[in-house]
Amino acid sequence: MSLTAYHAKLFAHELTKRSSSDNVDKLASALSDAQVDLNPHQIEAALFAFRSPLSKGAILADEVGLGKTIEAGILLAQHWAERRRTLLVICPANLRKQWSQELLDKFFLPSVILEAKTFNEVIRAGNLNPFQQPKIIICSFQFARSKESYLRTTPWNLVVIDEAHRLRNVYKPGNKVANSIKNAVSGFQKVLLTANLTDAEALEAQLIENLQRRDVHPLEEAQGFRALLNLDEPKYSIEQIAAKTGKSPAYCAQRVKLTELTAAVTEAFAKDDIGVGHALLLAKLQPAEQEQALSACFREDWNGGQGKAKRILLPVRHLHQWIEQNILLILKDAPFSKTDPNVNPAAGACVDCPKRTGGNALLFADIAEDACTDPACYQSKLDGFVAQTIEAKPKLVQISSAYGPAAATTDTASAALPRNKYIEIKPQDPNAKKHRDWPEYQTCKSMTEAIVTEGTEKGEIRKICADPECPVHRPKKPRPAGDVRIHAEQKAEQEKQRREEAIANAVGLRVLSAIVAAVPVRLTKRDLIFIVERLLPQLDERRIEVLARNRRIKKTQASDSIVKLIGAYIRKADEGELGQLLVETVILHSARTQSETGKALKDAALHYKVDTDAIVEKVRAEFVAKDKAQAARKTTAKTPPKPARATAAKKSKAA
C-alpha cells in the first residue's frame, strides 16, 4: 500500500502531536501497538496520574484483578514514548518476573530485573551504576533498600511502587525498608499501586505522603489533619493521628488549629508574609483578636526615604509578648467563680472551657499561668457577675476606678461614682505603724461596701467612704500639730526619694555619655549603619527619645517623628558617631529594669574605663549647688522690702 503525501503528513502529525494532560489523545502514540484490551476506568486512572504536571505523583487504589498493573504500564509506555526512559519499578520479589513479562508482552517495553547476581555482572561489564540502563529497571523492596545510594544518584523520570501499602509505616523509625526507599526516591515523580482504600485509609495515605514532602506548606498539613478529625467513621482523636503519623500530639493539635485562622491571616500566611511561628500563635486566638494581633506582627519603617513606610516582620517572641500583655486575661485575678456555669450560661464554667490555657496543654504548653484567650467571653462573665452581685446586694454602691466624670451609656448617665468622689478604705497593716494615722486606713460611720462596675478592677468588692462631709476622711478643720508633722515627714521623705532618683538618672546619663565618648572607631560606616538600623526597632519610644536627647535632636513640628529624625541622623553621621550610637543603643536595649540599667552601665563603664565615682561626685555637687541657689531665691523672696526714701516734696515741706 502506497501512502499519498497527504496521508503521510496526517500520520506524522498524529504520531508527533502533543495533547493536554487530561486528553485521551495524549496516550494514542504510546498505545498504538499495545497488545491489551483497555477498559475506560484504566484510561481514566492513567489520565488522572498525568493530570497535574506539578504533582509529585499519584496513588492508584483498586480492587484485585481490575488492572492496576495495566494502568501503571500505560504510564510507563507514555514516558517511554516521550523519551523519558529512566524508569523504575519496585515490587515484591515474587512479582518481578510477572512485571517484566507483562511489560514485554502487552506494551513491548524492554526491562531488566536487578538482583545481586545481575547487579554485579553489570558492574564487571564496566557500568558503575547498574540502575542507569536503557531499559526499565525492576527490583524488590529489599534490594532497593540495600542499594539506596545508587537509587539516590539516579535521575528517575518515574518510579512505580507496587503493593505500596507495605510501606505505610514509613513514619516509624523501625521500618528500615520504607525509610530507605523514601529517602532514595524522594523528589522524583512516583505512582503508588495499592489495594482499594476506604476514605479513612485514603486520607491517611495522603497525609503521610504529604508529611514526607520537603516543600509541603503547614496549611496543607493542617487540612489533612482536619479531614481525618472530621470523618464520621472511624472517629479519630489527636492522639490517634499522632500515633499514625509519627508526630507528637502537640504538633498535631497546633497544626489542626491552623484551619481556624481568619481569611486575612490565612492569606498572609500563604503569601509567607508571616512565618509558621506567627501563624501558630495567631491560631490560638479568637477571630476578632486574630485581626488585631496580625497588625502587631509588623512595624513600619520610614527609613527608606521613599515617602512610604515599609512593613518589617517582627520576631515571634515580640508577638508572644504582645499577646500576653494585650489579649490573655489571668483567671486567678478574676472576681467571678471559675467553676460556676451560671455566671454566663451560654459559655459555661471556665474550668470546662477549651479556650482556657490551663485546660489545653497541647496548645498552650508555653504559657505558665492559667489564662482566658477570649476577652469578649471574659467581659460577658464580668458583666454577669456584677449584675448578679448587685441583684443579691442592692445596697452595694457602684464605683469606678477612673477619675473624672462618670461614663455615660446610650440613654442615661452611669450610676458609678468616679474615683474622686469616694475614699477607698484599705485594711490596716500591723507592720506599717506609719499607716495608723493616715485617713485611708481609718474607718468611719459612713463606711460602706461598694463594687467596681467600671474600670480595670471591675467586679471587685471594696470598702469606701463616699460622704463629702465625713470628718475622718474629708476633715474641714486644720490638722493638729502631730498630723502636720507627719504630713511634713511624708513630704520630706518623698522629696528625698525624688532627689535620689534624679541624681541616679543624672549619673546614669553622664556615665552613658562618658562610655559613648570612649568608644573607638573600628567598623566601616556601612557596617555600622546596617547594625544600628536593625537594633533601633528593638527600643521603645522612651529609649529612642533618650538617644535623640543626647544628640540634641528635637522636633521642629508637632507632626515630626523621632524615629524619622533618628534615621536622618544615622545617614549623615560619621563612623565615630555611629559607633557611639551603637554602643548606647546596646546599653539601652539591655537595660529593661532599674537593676539591669545599673548592671549594664557598670559593665560598660568597666570595659571603657570610665570613672563613675568622679561622675557621681560631680553630679551630687551640682545638685547641692542647685539646692543652695533655690534656697537663696526663697530667702530673698521672703525678706520684707526696705522703707522708701522721702521724696523731694516731703523734704521741702519739712524744711
Q: Which of 207-221, 390-404, 416-430, 627-641 has the lowest mean pLDDT?
A: 207-221
Q: How confident is the model at residue 190 (pLDDT cuts 50, 70, 90)?
A: confident
- Report yes or no on 638 lying in a domain: no
- Whether residues 146 and 281 share a domain: the answer is no
Given strand 190-194, what is the order of strands in its sheet?
57-61, 190-194, 158-161, 87-91, 136-140, 111-113
DSSP 421: G
Domain region containing 410: 395-477
- Whether residues 325 and 473 share a domain: the answer is no
- Whether residues 546 and 582 share a domain: the answer is yes
Q: Which of 172, 196, 220 is the last residue of a domain?
A: 196
- Whether residues 175 and 32 share a domain: the answer is yes
Taking the C-alpha atoms of residue 236 and residue 280, their distance in angstroms, rounded to an integer, is 22
* Helix runs in 147-233, H state only: 148-152, 176-185, 199-212, 218-229
- Report yes or no on 206 lying in a domain: no
Q: What is the mean pLDDT of residues 3-27?
A: 61
- Whether residues 174 and 61 share a domain: the answer is yes
Taking the C-alpha atoms of residue 620 and residue 365, their distance in angstroms, rounded to an integer, is 50
Percent of the chain with pLDDT over 90: 12
SS3 494: helix
What pLDDT is attached to residue 522?
Answer: 62
- Report yes or no on 581 lying in a domain: yes
Q: Which tens digits make up the pLDDT trace of 104-114?
A: 888 889 999 99
Taking the C-alpha atoms of residue 255 and residue 239, their distance in angstroms, rounded to an integer, is 13
The half-sphere exposure of 24 on its side-chain side, counting CA atoms within 13 A, is 9
DSSP 27: G
- Whether residues 331 and 469 share a domain: the answer is no
**Cα angle for residues 407, 413, 417 (degrees, 5° grid):** 60
Residue appearing with cell numbers 455615660:
408
- Report yes or no on 260 lying in a domain: no
Q: Which residue has the higher pLDDT, 220 or 15?
A: 220
Percent of the chain with pLDDT over 70: 77
- Whether residues 42 and 182 share a domain: the answer is yes
* Number of domains the chain contains: 4
Q: Which of 357-361, 383-387, 641-645 has the lowest mean pLDDT?
A: 641-645
- Whether residues 343 and 463 share a domain: the answer is no
- Whether residues 187 and 290 share a domain: the answer is no
What pLDDT is attached to residue 484?
Answer: 60
| pLDDT tops 70 at residue 14 | no
Q: Measuring CA to CA, which residue among 142, 148, 150 is closest to residue 167?
A: 142
